[in-house]
Amino acid sequence: MISSSEIERRELIELAQFVINRKTNDLRNELYEFLVEIGLYDVDENVTKSQLIDIIKRRFGFSVFPQQIINSTLIQLEKKKNILIEKIGLTQKYKLPVDKKQKLMKMVESHKQLREHFTKSILDKIAKIGSLSDVDKKDIVDSAFDFLGRSLSILSIRFAEILIKPSYEFKHLDELLYRGEILEKSFARIEDQNVRRDAINATKETLTQPDKKIALFLYSIAQSYFLLQILNVDPECQTLQKNLFLLNMTVYFDTNIIIDLLCEKSEQRFHRPATRLIELMKSLDIKMRFSSRTLKELYRTINISEETLKRIGYTERKRKIRDYIDDPFVEEYSKLLDEMPFLRWENFIGRMKKFTSILERKYNIFYDRANYNDIFQNPDFLDISKMISEADPYKPDYLVEHDCFHLLLVDKLRSKEDLFPKYWFITRDKSVCLAEQMRLISEKRKG
């Protein structure tokens, strides 16, 4: 819960510190710089790194603030000439330049004015109804900030959305901050029922019909509360980066990865890394898919394996199968025969043909049934196909088409993204990676 004294003590981060769609690293580094500068602002004498860490932890209520963050932030501030360094032997001490301290002083004063405007707005609304004692005024102000603290704590996810997509308008302020039961608890300290009712109504009116200054003040509190909470539990903002970067991420697997998963014995050196990759993606809630083109390619590969077994015939099958180890499904069957000598090919390959259900049940990989046939009409399809052929001159046309489809599929799905790429194609075909590099170089040259 945030009391009025805590909010004033923190001198919360100004809205102007951030802009829409900043990358996480920029956001994080600016926040670190601000915290260090405010820490130095609080003291008149030069301080060491360890003293500065203690000041920041005490001022912002952090349980930990890593040494490496202080080190890197001080280096950046020195480059920007935003700190002064005093060297005494092997010890370095830090302080703010006069001009920087004056700038921060203006920010602190600006925040105080916004806070005073917010509290005055509430008190003025009640004063129109009747006179207030000093005790009443203090209880009303403390209750209003108690309510903000409770709301921020409960609605932190919604405030995270505000952080990522800020707005001065606060069209949904009533939805975000007004909770009747929270108001009753927050204002319970006011004994006089009439004063309590008037205070609640005045606070609701101030919050749901804010002027620009109040909206700015509330935005600053919401943003600052959320950022400080992140730093308190995750000082290096790794969770924030994970949430922003991995939220709603989808990967499409190439045929070779799917075969690595299905053929546990024949593709053993690839199967284990592939399963570890799957487990990692599961833990990060990444959606895993394969396309209609991969489905078609898997059936084609299985059909080739069936033709191979027909050519071998049924006599001395086990010995002859050893000659076809380049075929993943034939090799898988061969190695299973060592453990199950009476395993029939028909039973084995029948199970493999149910790969869609195997992938869903065992690996959480789902078939994407969406129709992306318009990709074949993409004007870049021919040029990219040529690059794939150049990357691997021996690759058959049907595989060139398959690879080109997936490169353009990722392009299509990414076209609606704002910040972080959410769609990826995973393959261990090096020629696809080479073709994509060739394509990027070509696009860079075009300008």
In angstroms, the CA 440 to CA 76 distance is 32
Name which residue leads in pLDDT, 154 or 86. 86
In angstroms, the CA 384 to CA 408 distance is 9
Could you tell me the two tokens for 154? Answer: 């409960």
Domain boundaries, the chain: 4-238
**What's the gap between Cα 325 and its chain centre?**
43
**What is the pLDDT of the chain when averaged over all its residues?**
79
Whether 24 shows a pLDDT value over 70: the answer reads no
Q: Where are the alpha helices (DSSP H) in 169-321?
A: 173-177, 180-186, 193-208, 212-233, 238-246, 255-262, 268-283, 292-312, 317-321
What does the pLDDT read at residue 371? Answer: 87
- With a pLDDT cut of 70, the percent of the chain lying above it is 76
Could you tell me the two tokens for 74? Answer: 């001080």
pLDDT tens across 219-234, in order?
777 666 666 665 554 5
The number of C-alpha atoms within 13 Å of 244 and in the hemisphere containing its C-beta is 20
Neighbours of 24 (CB within 10 A): 17
* 446 pLDDT tier (thresholds 50, 70, 90): confident
**Does residue 346 sit in helix, strand or coil?**
helix
Residue type, 343: L
What does the pLDDT read at residue 171? Answer: 47
In angstroms, the CA 49 to CA 419 distance is 35
Whether 319 shows a pLDDT value over 60: the answer reads no
* 285 pLDDT tier (thresholds 50, 70, 90): confident
DSSP labels, 127-179: HTTS---HHHHHHHHHHHHHHHHHHHHHTHHHHHHHHHS--SS-TTHHHHH--
SS3 of the chain: helix, strand, coil, percent, to 5: 70, 5, 25
pLDDT tens across 52-70, in order?
989 888 877 777 777 888 8
What does the pLDDT read at residue 62? Answer: 73
**Predicted TM-score (pTM) above 0.85:** no
Query: What is the rounded average pLDDT of the residues 75-99?
Result: 89
